[in-house]
Structure 1
C-alpha cells in the first residue's frame, strides 16, 4: 500500500478510539416501557401524603448509564420535571389537597426518543373548613363591613361565597360571590335591613368540581342598627306660589349619627349639596314647578324626602301676531302683542307693560306696531310683557315671529314652448312671471276650450299648458294667461300681442295641383312637356318634387320662395307615357301629394304620313295580274275594293 494513503486511515482510527474513550452516546438504544404509580392509592382524603412514581426501562449497547428527563403533567400541563440517570423519579404531594386532583401522566425523554406512560386519575376528597372574620360586629342599616374568608391549607384558585341569616331563622341568603387566586378573600358587604344577622362563608374549587363545596365556616353575629337620617324638608313661604315669588327650600337631618351629606335634586339635576342642613333660594319661574327631592347620605345609606312645589302663572307668555297673516310688499302690516290669561288676585292687567323688538333691538314701547311692508321691515320680531307692582318684577318674551313680506307677482309672459307653432297641430304654452313669491297660480284662457290652471310651488317649476292646434296663426291673439299669488289682489293678465310677435308660425302646404303644358292628351313625340306643380297655401319656402308612376326615385325637386314650380321633359318619346304626380312640403315637415295625371304620347305627324304611303304601296303590290277577258269588269272592281279594305257597299 502507498505509505501516503496510511496517514488519513490512521487519523480516522484515532478519532474513533478517542470518541469511545470520551464516553460518546451509544449508537443503539430503545425505551422499553414507562410506568406511573400513585401511592397510597388513586383516591385519598385531603391531607394525605401522596407519591407519584415514574419508572422507565431502556435497552442499549453500552455499559454507560443514560440521562433520563422525567416530566409529570396534570391535565396535560407540566407540574414537575426531573433529570436523572436513575430509572425512576418521584412527585410528592405533602400533603395532597383537593386542588391536586386530576389526570396525571409521565413522559420520559432519552436522548432523541420520548415515551409516555398511561394516565392515572388522582382524587383527593374533602375540603378544609374555612375561617370567617369581620371588621365590625355592629353596623347601621345600609352600612358596609369587611368580611374575610380563608382556607390557608388549600391550593389553587378558590371561589368564596358569603351568606347571611336572620337571627333564629333556618334559611340563609347569599350576599356575594368572590373569586380569589389565593386561599383568602375579602369582601365589602352591605346589610340594608335592620336587625340581628348571622354571617358565614364557604368555598369551592373550580378545577376540582368533584370535591364539591366546603363546609360552612364559623358563624359570626352582626347587629344592624336603624339609621335615623331621614331629612326634614320645608318649603317657604308655601308649596304653592306665584311666578316671581321668592321660594326657600330647607333640608335638615335631625341628630345625625355622624357626618351626613344632604342633597337637593329636581329631575335628576343636583341643585345644591351641603352637610347636615341645606338652604336653597330661588325666584319662582315658569319651569320651576315640580317634584323636589331632599336626600341624606351616610356612608352607603340613603334616605329621601319628597315635596311638590306648584308655581301658578301670574300671566301667560305673550303672543305676537301679524295682520294680515301673509303680508305683501307695500301693504300695511300690523303687529299685536297680547296675553291670553292672568291671575286677577295678584295682578292688575293695567300694570302689564308691553314692548316690541326687531332682531332683539327695541322697536317701540307698546303692544302694537304698524308699518308698510318693505324689504327693510323683514326680520325676527318678538314682544315682551312686564308686570310692575310686584315684589320682584316679572318679564316674559313671546316666541319669535319671522316677518318676510311677499313679493307681488309681476305681469306674466305667455310664450309657445320651443318658439315655433305649426298651424293645426297641438302645441304647448308656458306662462311665467319674472318676479313674485311662491306659490303662484297661473290660469290659461283660449278660444273654444276650457280654462286650465297650474300652481307653481317650488323654484324651477313651470306652468306649462298643453293645448290643441289652431286653424290660423292669428288665433294666438285669442290666448290669455292670468297670474296670481295674493287672494286679495286681482289676477294680472299677460300682454295680448307679445305671444304672436314672439312665435314663428308655420302653415303646412295645401294639397298641390299638377297641370301639364301642353295638355297630356295632345302631346306628340318630340314635343317638350312641362309639369307645373302649385299650392294654394303654405309658409315659404316650399319644396316641390316630381314623380313618375312606377318609379321610386323622384324625377326632380325644387325649393322655392314661391307657391309654384315647374319641371320640363324635353322631346318626349313614346316611353314617357304614363302617370305623373308631384309633392309639396315646407318647414312644417308635412308632405302633401297631388292627384296623378296620365300622359299619352301621340305619334309624330311625319310618321303618320310615311305609314300611309307605305300602306298604299303595300296594297298595290298585292293586286292579281289576270287578263281582263278572264273576269267581268264588275267583279274586277269589287275585288279591288276588297283588297283596299273596303266593302263594296261602302265604296264611294
Structure 2
C-alpha cells in the first residue's frame, strides 16, 4: 500500500505539470480545419460594422497551443493576432467599399519549447528530480476564400475657400471623403461640365473662373482600385463670379482728318477704373499695341496715353489690352485711324531722256501731290550713287566724254516737309557713246558693170547705229542696225567707172540731233575699167 501511495503521488505531480509519463517529451498535433465567417454576412452596405471570424480546430496531445492568426485580403496580410484561443476576430468598424474582396484566414501553430519546473520525487527512500520539456512543431493551414462585398460609397463633401470671386481669379476646391478607404478619384464639374480630374492626394485644387455669373460646383467620386463600386456625387456649392469691369476703350485726338505732320494722341483707357476694388486696381495692366508691337504699357493706372507726330505708317488698327497680374484674364478693344500723306513720294527725272557723252542733262525732283493749307515747305535733295549731289529741285550735269565717267549711275531724289522724308525710286543714267567716224571698204574686187558689196563700219558707238551709203550727196540706202557695221549691195549700173566709184562714202549716226559723221571716199581696186 505504501508503494501504491508513492505511485499515486508521482502521477499527481505529473498531471499538475501538464505532462504524463505516457506522453514523454514529444508533442504531436494536426490542424483539422480552418474556417472564416463574415458577420453579419458577406453582402453589406457601406457603414455596416463587419466582423471576420477565424476558427481553427486542432487535434493535439498538449493542454494548450499558441495559434498565429493572419487575415488576408486578396492574398495580402491585413491583420495578425496571436492567441491560445482557437478563434480570432478582425473587425471593420465600419466597413467601406475599399474593404470588399476575397478574404482568407491562415493559422500557424508556432514552434515553441516549454519546460516545467523541477519536481522532486522521493520513492522508497530515493529522491528523483523530474523535468518535463515540450517542443511544439510549426504547422499552418488556410481557410477557403470568403468574399465580402460592401456596396455603396459615402457622399463626398465639396467645399470652396470663397463663395464670391472676380472673373480671372482662382477658387480653391476640396472634395473630401474622410471615411472612405483607399485611393479616390474625383471629377470636378462646373455647371454640369467636366473641368478637372484629381485624386484625394491632390486636394485641394485651384480652378480659375473666367466667366462672370453664378457657378454650380459638384464632384463625382470613384474608387481608383474598384471602379465597379460605382460613384457618388457630392453636395452642390454655388459661387458667384463677379465681372471685373476692365473692358478698355481706344480713342484718337483728333478723331479724324489726320495728315502727316499732325500730332496724334492715342488713348487706351479703362472707364470703370475708379469702381474697381483697390487691390484689383493695383493688379491692372494696360497695353497699347499696333501690328504686334507694344507701344506703351502701364500698371495700376486708368489709361495709357501715347502721342506721336503722325506719318502714313501710323495709320491702321490700335489694340488696347487689359490684364490682371497673376491671372489669365484679358480684355481687348481696338480702333482704326487713317493718316493722309502730306505729299506723295517724289519722282526723279532726267531731261533729255536720252543722254550722250558731252551733252548737258538736268536731273529734276518733283511730287505729284501736296496737301494744301498745312504750311508745309518742301525741301529737295538730289543724290548720285548714294552721295549728296545737290540741295535743290533741279541740277544740270554735263556728261563727260568717257563712257565710264562719274556722271553715269543711279540718281535718287529726296523730299522733306515737317520732318517727313520720302525718297524716290532710283533712276539709272548711262550716257550713250557717239558713233565714231565710219570707214568704207569693198568686199572683194570691184568689176565695173557687175553688182558688188561695200561695208560701212564704226569703231565705237552706242547701238543702234544708222549707216547711210552715199554717192556724192545722194543716198543709195540706209540701215539701222544693232551692230557697228552694215553691208550694202551696189547694183551693176550704180557705178560705171572708177571716178564714180570714188564718189561712194558712208555716214554713221546714233544721235538724233547731231550731224552724222562721214567716211572718206571708197578706195578699191577696179577690174575691167
Q: Decide which of 225, 228, 233 is 1:215's aligned counterpart.
A: 233
Aligned equivalent of 2:246: 229
- Give unpaired runs (5+ residues) of structure 1: 1-25, 165-171, 406-485, 494-652
Larger deviation, residues 89-98 vs 108-117: 108-117
Secondary structure in structure 1 of the residue aligned to 2:304: strand
Bigger shift: 40-49 or 52-61? 52-61
Aligned residue for 1:354? 381
Alpha-carbon distance in structure 1 between the residues aligned to 2:53 and 2:63: 25
- State the 1:85 CA deviation: 9.2
The 1:297–1:61 alpha-carbon spacing in structure 2 relative to 1, beyond 3 Å, is same
Q: How far is 1:240 from its partner?
A: 4.6
8 Å Cα contact 2:381-2:388 kept in structure 1? no
1:315 maps to 2:346: no
Give the direction of change, closer, same or farther, for the CA distance of 1:64–1:349 in structure 2 (3 Å limit): same
Question: Match of 1:99?
Answer: 98
On the 8 A contact 1:159/1:177 being kept in 2, the answer is no
Structure 1 residues 396, 185: closer, same or farther in 2, change over 3 A?
same
Q: Are the counterparts in 1 of residues 264 and 307 from structure 2 also a CA contact under 8 Å? A: yes
In the other structure, the counterpart of 1:133 is 159
d(CA) in 2 for partners of 1:233, 1:491 = 67
Return the match for 2:264 from 247, 271, 281. Answer: 247
Partner of 2:47: 47
1:72: Cα distance to partner? 3.1
Cα distance per residue 1:14-51 (max 9 Å; x no partner): xxxxxxxxxxxx9x999998876554433321122345
Correspondence list, 1:138-157, <5 A: 138-157=164-183
365 and 257 in structure 1: CA distance in 2 versus 1, 3 angstrom threshold: same
- C-alpha separation in 2, matches of 1:335 and 1:108: 119
CA RMSD of aligned residues (A): 5.5
Q: Which residue of 2 aligns with 1:280?
A: 306
> Does 1 or 2 have the higher relative contact order (CA < 8 Å, sep 6+)?
2
Give the superposition deviation at 1:127. 2.0
- In structure 2, the residue matched to 1:206 is 224
TM-score, normalised to structure 1, is 0.44
- Describe the superposition over 1:209-244 as per-residue Cα deviations: whole angstroms up to 9, x where unpaired: 233222331x44434444433334321123452233
Whole-Å separation in 2 of the counterparts to 1:51 and 1:333? 120
Q: Distance in 1 between matches of 2:51 and 2:384?
A: 98
- Cα displacement string for residues 388-422 of structure 1 (whole angstroms, at most 9, x for unaligned residues): 3x3xx1012456789999xxxxxxxxxxxxxxxxx
Aligned-partner Cα distance in 2 for 1:108–1:382: 109
Q: Aligned residue for 2:72?
A: 72
Q: What is the aligned counterpart of 2:290 among 252, 266, 277?
A: 266
- Within 1, Cα distance between the matches of 2:222 and 2:204? 13
**Partner residue of 2:369?**
342
Give CA-to-partner distance per residue, 1:518-553, whole Å, 9 cap, x none: xxxxxxxxxxxxxxxxxxxxxxxxxxxxxxxxxxxx
Tell me if structure 2 keeps the 8 A contact 1:161–1:174. Answer: no
Of the three residues 178, 196, 210, the one matched with 1:177 is 196
Take 2:254 and 2:166, find their aligned partners in 1: how far apart are those partners? 36
Tell me which protein shows more helix as a share of its residues: 1
1:257 is matched with which residue: 276, 289, 295? 276
| Equivalent-residue separation in structure 1 for 2:429 and 2:91 (angstroms) | 96
> How many Å separate the matches in 2 of 1:56 and 1:339?
117
Paired residue secondary structure (1:99): helix
Number of aligned residue pairs: 369
Query: Contact 1:155 / 1:182 at 8 angstroms: preserved in 2?
Result: no
Q: Within 5 Å, which residues of 2 pair with 1:349-388?
A: 351-356=378-383, 358=385, 361-365=387-391, 374=404, 383=412, 385-388=414-417
- How big is the shift at 1:279? 0.9
- The 3-state SS of whatever aligns with 2:41 is coil
Aligned mates of 2:256, 2:199 — CA distance in 1: 54
CA–CA separation in structure 2 for the residues paired with 1:320 and 1:106:
106
> Displacement, 1:345?
3.2
Deviations 1:64-112 (A, max 9, x none): 98997958354x7x46375969888876543222233345567899999
Q: Contact 2:159 / 2:173 at 8 angstroms: preserved in 1?
A: yes
Asked whether the 8 Å contact 2:70–2:77 carries over to 1, the reply is no
Residue pair 1:70, 1:89 contacting (<8 A) in 2 also: no
Q: For the residues of structure 2 that align with 1:397 and 1:197, how far apart are their CA atoms?
A: 61
Return the alpha-carbon distance in structure 2 between the equivalents of residues 253 and 181 of structure 1: 42
**1:332 and 1:100 mapped to 2: Cα distance?**
110
How far apart are the structure 1 equivalents of 2:164 and 2:212?
Answer: 13
Q: Secondary structure, in 3 states, of the residue corresponding to 2:172?
A: strand
> Which has the larger share of strand?
2
For structure 2, the 5+ residue unaligned runs are 1-25, 111-137, 432-461, 466-481, 486-529
The aligned counterpart of 1:296 is 322
Q: Cα offset for 1:281?
A: 1.7
Check 1:73–1:403 CA distance in 2 against 1; reply closer, same or farther (3 A cut).
farther
Q: CA deviation at 1:377?
A: 8.6
